[in-house]
Amino acid sequence: MRFILFFILSISILFATQIKLTEKQANFIAQKVWQNEGAGLDKYLVHWNEGEDFASVGIGHFIWFSKGHMERFREVFPMVVASMEEKGVKMPSWLNSKTPLPWNSKEEFYAAKKAKSKKYVQLFKFLKATMPEQADFMAQRLSAALSQMLETIEEPEKQQLIKKRFYEVMHNKDGSVNERGLYVLLDYTNFKGEGTLKSERYKGEGWGLLQVLEHMNPKEANKLKAFAESAKAMLSRRIKNSPPARGEERWRKGWNVRLDTYWK
């Protein structure tokens, strides 16, 4: 009997957060995320940020590595492409989920962008045409985030706390989906990850969705505000712990502006 109950509980955890976006929701979230990541400007749809060794592409500035590159952060763009492959989305003939970034350095990338090379133009048009599909991927990623987070936690009490706060952000008090709460969870998971990768740590401390949920103020009645304030604290801790050479302080203001959209 215990095994059966455990099995049922496990299944409920795995599938309780399957998120399906309507076309209206997908377009809304795509535009909100794109405004956060690239100010809604085409020139930032295929981009390479200062101080980083990888490109950031699409509405979510999904990380994409060149061939042979290794990094502490999760490479997400191949996951986006794999999601689209499953749905039969048309894409450039040279692009698939195994394709590395075509440019080996920031200099090569900007040269291709300036020259409007064939691959750059095809990539841009593909990303411009598939914004709702990119939002759908983000929903898929969030669907798996809760179970992924719970698998990393040993204490039952903490598992229940994380699950409770996840649903408090996503749902209204009557149990219906809060669209802004859904946007908040989707955006932050895309923005800073689930918080489960040990490589995404500075001095052993993470800054992802898991850490934000863990440090929410339980006395704050507005759960979206509580989430935003916790996220600010986690990113402030990240900046403090980051290697000085990365100069992450320069991102604080923009990060905080983004987080304020979660509740203001």
Summarised one tens digit per residue, pLDDT across range 71-129 is: 778 899 999 999 999 999 999 999 999 999 999 999 999 999 999 999 999 999 999 99
Task: Tokens 């863990």: give the residue.
Answer: 214
Q: Is 168 helix (H, G, I), strand (E, B) or coil?
A: helix
User: 63: part of which helix (H) or strand (E)?
Assistant: strand 62-64
* pLDDT at position 17: 53
* Assigned domain for 36 exists: yes
Task: Give me the domain span that covers residue 76.
Answer: 23-132
Q: Is the separation of the CB atoms in 84 and 63 below 8 Å? A: no
Its pTM stands at 0.79
| pLDDT band at residue 70 under the 50/70/90 scheme | confident
Q: Is residue 4 over pLDDT 50?
A: no
Kindly state whether residues 48 and 78 are assigned to the same domain: yes
Question: What are the distances in angstroms from CA 239 to CA 38, 152, 207, 209, 235?
Answer: 21, 24, 10, 16, 6
| pLDDT band at residue 34 under the 50/70/90 scheme | confident
Structural domain total, the chain: 2
* Assigned domain for 160 exists: yes
Kindly state whether residues 121 and 29 are assigned to the same domain: yes
Kindly state whether residues 118 and 158 are assigned to the same domain: no
Mean per-residue pLDDT for 173-187?
89
Q: Give the separation between CA 99 and CA 97, rounded to whole angstroms.
A: 6
* Assigned domain for 2 exists: no
pLDDT tens per residue across span 143-156: 899 999 999 999 99
Q: Give the separation between CA 36 and CA 32, rounded to whole angstroms.
A: 6
* Assigned domain for 16 exists: no
* Assigned domain for 4 exists: no
